[in-house]
Amino acid sequence: MSRAQLLIDTDPGVDDALAILMAHAHADIAGLSIAAGNVGLGHTVRNALTLVDLLGTSVPVFAGCATPLVRAASEDAALVHGQDGFGDIGFPEPVSRAHHEAAALALLRLTRERPGELTLVALGPLTNLALALRLDPDLPGRVARLVIMGGAVTGHGNTGNVPAEFNIGFDPEAAHVVFEAFAAFDLVDWEATLRHGFADAQFDDWLAAGDQRAAFFAKIVGAARRYNAEHDRVGVVAADALAMAVALDPSIVTRSETRAVAIELDGRLTRGATVVDWAGRLGRPAQANIVLDVDQDRFAAMVRRALGDAR
Ligand code: BDR
Ligand code: CA
């Protein structure tokens, strides 16, 4: 299989970091466009640059919007990822620098330079992508695929608005723009994430067998593992890594359903929910290929190699 060609929109973030390690190990990365989300934009850009330094690559990093499109976000995810988004380890200032081009403009330019070639992987709030779509509605026609980590397709979300998942709940208007604009995309939701965690002992074994990437990830994942253990999340759960696995190799999907999915923009308790028309009652085009299960062993193999475990 030829290497996937990826354009990654992300808000690093611990599980974003694992996804980017996977992308680096298994694919070519045209660029990292950076969103605010897990923590503020200053931290997410810096974290992306820290990863670029770690990997010794020249992948360009583009800073995006510092806020959601319309309403201020009601929460971030610093409790899970640490105040700096990377477990509050205190990494030195990165050597790499962000490019001056805005993320939305970089998304448009890179897809114009390579029409039909790039798989767009969205691992954070969809603010940059929505802005790009408003500037150029032809964008969907220029990407090979879109894979989104977001949503909770039966309402088992992970935010204060209970049915909403974080990436969608952070910027529901942006998600609405994206979900309305693309005629087809893969959706990897929070509920699938919880079904595809890794046992702690197994993950520790991979970290011990890996190289400097594993040593780095072992540091930043500590806070998130503690948070998960205190919140009934079993083992290591990594939403963005699961989405990245689907982006890298769609054949790992063993069960999926294609349905119309819309975003709730109001709702006293439900703003940001992904509303799935499971029974096809509304007659709306079914645009979201909802990933329900993947081959866990193949997913694990991708993660292990990305951490440098060559056994
Ligand atoms: C998503 O929200 C973020 O905290 C993670 O990085 C992931 O993209 C999971 O709901
Ligand atoms: Ca993320």
pLDDT category at 105 given cuts 50, 70, 90 is: very high
pLDDT of residue 2: 83
Mean pLDDT of 181-202: 97
The whole-chain average pLDDT of the chain stands at 97
108: pLDDT strictly greater than 80: yes
CA of 12 to the centre of ligand 1 (A): 9
Mutation probe of ligand 1 site: the residue of 18, 149, 191, 274 with most atoms within 8 A of C-beta: 149
CA of 116 to the centre of ligand 1 (A): 27
| DSSP E strands, the chain | 4-10, 27-34, 61-63, 119-122, 145-149, 185-188, 253-259, 261-263, 274-276, 288-294
CA of 77 to the centre of ligand 1 (A): 8
Four-residue CA torsion sign, 134, 122, 111, 182 = negative
For residue range 124-176, what is the model confidence (pLDDT) as tens digits?
Answer: 999 999 999 999 999 999 999 999 999 999 999 999 999 999 999 999 999 99
230: pLDDT strictly greater than 90: no
Mutation probe of ligand 1 site: the residue of 8, 15, 128, 231 with most atoms within 8 A of C-beta: 15
Q: Are 306 and 299 in contact (CB under 8 A)?
A: no
Selection from 251, 276, 132 nearest residue 191 by Cα: 276
Strands 253-259 and 288-294: antiparallel
30: pLDDT strictly greater than 80: yes
Q: Are 173 and 134 in contact (CB under 8 A)?
A: no
Q: Compute CA 34 distance to the chain's CA centroid, rounded to the nearest angstrom.
A: 11
pTM equals 0.98
CATH superfamily ID and name for 4-306:
Ribonucleoside hydrolase-like (3.90.245.10)
Q: Compute CA 234 distance to the chain's CA centroid, rounded to the nearest angstrom.
A: 20
Q: Is the shortest distance between the CB of 38 and ligand 1 below 6 Å? A: yes
pLDDT category at 259 given cuts 50, 70, 90 is: very high
Mean pLDDT of 208-214: 98
CA torsion angle for 218, 220, 222, 227 (degrees, to 10)?
-140
pLDDT of residue 1: 66
Q: Is the shortest distance between the CB of 239 and ligand 1 below 6 Å? A: yes
User: For ligand 1, what atom is nearest to the CA of residue 80?
Assistant: 4
Take atom 10 of ligand 1 and give the residue whose Cα is closest: 166
- Residue 170: phi and psi, rounded to 5, are -65, -40
